[in-house]
């Protein structure tokens, strides 16, 4: 069960729903997933009870317990023990340490259990073959997706491992793609990013994207479904239109320190929650983008960035009024988000010391 966690390897997934699978095969896959779920929950319970949060490979006697209890192969038992171990380990790292209940049926299948080949014939593009070793023997024909084709076109390698699962009644398979991490850029600009969604995603090099997201959110009806998925996809699109070529360091606000309500324009509780979700999603997308582009992402405490004048380097809480920034000391005016993005750029340049130290070391005064 060699699984090398290689930090220089980037991983992405692309999900395919098995809508075209015939009933008989679908039944077999569902049964297999249910079995895997039960075995994994058994291991989760066992590790939790033993207070084994190491995520290390289970011993052979432990593996054999599930093998005998559930009548599965040693290899499958081993694979499921490993996933359960990782689940327990990551749960134990969280603040609320409660024993995980596996809600979703998801299993990672290594090359012992599965192969992926181009489909021979018409109507499909891929053939995922379950090849035994504890998994059933079964061919699953699949149509390719835009995402899969795009990843391959962008030079990602298809991994021999897949994930398979059942969610809300639908079977799916995740293809996993890998790529060597490119080294961090050695030259380019430090750029800050700020966003409150009313104005989109604002970069201090004057790029602005995603201005259509806020109007779209306002158009959502109460209880409308799939709004999160739609916004996420809009964010993804928006980031695609950013020119990353000259950016070496991207400086953003630390999500944990973004105050409730600071994101500004959302008044009701639901909207505030949505805006937090948005920011988190945006940060996740940015992290991935930066990884792929070799851009260093730095996360800064946003303390006072919106009230700090990037022209005369003074702080004053009177400087910000809604969307406008106007410095009460020097009269400098700009859009509040541009000013905040610029301050984040300064924070990026200030490195670990933070803005106050950086600027005071430049012998500036503060209001
Ligand atoms: Zn000023």
CA trace torsion 283, 285, 286, 287 (10° rounding): 90
Whether 254 shows a pLDDT value over 70: the answer reads yes
Whether 259 shows a pLDDT value over 90: the answer reads no
Residues 6+ away with beta carbon under 8 Å from 256: none
15 φ/ψ sector (left φ>0, alpha ψ -120 to 50, else beta): beta
Pairing state between β 247-253 and 296-300: parallel
Cβ atoms < 10 Å from Cβ of 332: 16
Q: How far is the CA of 365 from the centre of ligand 1 (A)?
A: 11
Report pLDDT digits (tens) over 283-293: 889 999 999 99
Report pLDDT digits (tens) over 323-365: 788 888 898 888 887 888 887 777 766 654 455 555 555 544 3
Confidence bin at 24 (pLDDT 50/70/90): very high
What residue has token string 């005998």? Answer: 68
Report pLDDT digits (tens) over 31-66: 999 999 999 999 999 998 888 888 788 888 989 998
- Give the pLDDT score at 16: 94
Contact assessment for residue 337 and residue 195, using Cβ atoms and an 8 Å cutoff: yes
What residue has token string 């109460």? Answer: 222
Percent of the chain beyond pLDDT 90? 34
- Give the pLDDT score at 3: 42
- Give the pLDDT score at 220: 79
Cβ atoms < 10 Å from Cβ of 271: 15
Q: How far is the CA of 252 from the centre of ligand 1 (A)?
A: 22
Cβ atoms < 10 Å from Cβ of 38: 16
**Where exactly are the structural domains of the chain?**
9-180, 189-361
Q: How far is the CA of 323 from the centre of ligand 1 (A)?
A: 16
Q: How far is the CA of 311 from the centre of ligand 1 (A)?
A: 5
Report pLDDT digits (tens) over 107-139: 999 999 999 999 998 889 999 999 988 888 999
- In 3-state terms the chain splits into helix, strand, coil percentages (rounded to 5) of 40, 25, 35
Whether 270 shows a pLDDT value over 60: the answer reads no
Confidence bin at 251 (pLDDT 50/70/90): confident
Residue 192 Cα distances to 53, 70, 175, angstroms: 39, 54, 34
Distance between CA atoms of 47 and 69, rounded to whole angstroms?
16
Q: How far is the CA of 210 from the centre of ligand 1 (A)?
A: 29
Q: How far is the CA of 179 from the centre of ligand 1 (A)?
A: 46
- Give the pLDDT score at 356: 52
Residue 243 C-alpha from the chain's centroid: 21
Q: How far is the CA of 316 from the centre of ligand 1 (A)?
A: 9
Q: Extract the tokens encoding 48.
A: 């939790």
């Amino acid at each position: 069960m060699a699984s090398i966690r290689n930090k220089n390897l980037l991983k992405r997934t692309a999900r395919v729903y098995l809508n075209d699978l015939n009933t008989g095969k679908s039944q077999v896959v569902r049964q297999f997933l249910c079995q895997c779920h039960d075995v994994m929950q058994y291991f989760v319970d066992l590790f939790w009870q033993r207070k084994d949060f190491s995520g290390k490979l289970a011993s052979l006697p432990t593996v054999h317990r599930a093998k005998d209890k559930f009548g599965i192969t040693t290899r499958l038992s081993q694979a499921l023990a490993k996933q359960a171990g990782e689940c327990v380990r990551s749960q134990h790292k969280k603040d609320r340490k409660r024993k995980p209940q596996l809600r979703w049926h998801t299993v990672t299948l290594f090359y012992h259990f599965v192969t992926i080949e181009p489909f021979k014939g018409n109507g499909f593009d891929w053939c995922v073959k379950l090849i035994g070793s504890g998994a059933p023997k079964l061919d699953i024909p699949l149509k390719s997706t835009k995402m899969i084709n795009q990843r391959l076109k962008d030079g990602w390698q298809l991994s021999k491992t897949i994930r398979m699962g059942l969610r809300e009644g639908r079977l799916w398979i995740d293809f996993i793609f890998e790529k060597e991490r490119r080294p961090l850029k050695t030259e380019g600009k430090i750029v800050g990013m700020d966003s409150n969604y009313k104005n989109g995603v604002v970069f201090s090099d004057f790029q602005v994207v995603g201005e259509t997201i806020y109007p779209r959110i306002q158009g959502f009806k109460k209880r409308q479904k799939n709004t999160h998925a739609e916004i996420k996809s809009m964010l993804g699109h928006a980031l695609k239109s950013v020119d990353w070529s000259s950016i070496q360091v991207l400086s953003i606000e630390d999500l944990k320190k973004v105050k409730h309500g600071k994101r500004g324009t959302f008044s009701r509780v639901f909207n505030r929650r949505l805006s937090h979700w948005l920011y988190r999603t945006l940060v996740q997308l940015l992290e991935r983008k930066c990884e792929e582009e070799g851009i260093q992402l730095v996360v800064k405490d946003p303390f006072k960035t919106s009230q700090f004048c990037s022209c005369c380097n003074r702080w004053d809480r009177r400087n910000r009024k809604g969307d406008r920034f106007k410095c009460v000391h020097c009269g400098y005016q700009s859009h509040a988000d541009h000013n905040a993005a610029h301050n984040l750029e300064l924070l990026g340049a200030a490195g670990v010391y933070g803005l106050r130290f950086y600027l005071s070391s430049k012998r500036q005064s503060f209001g």
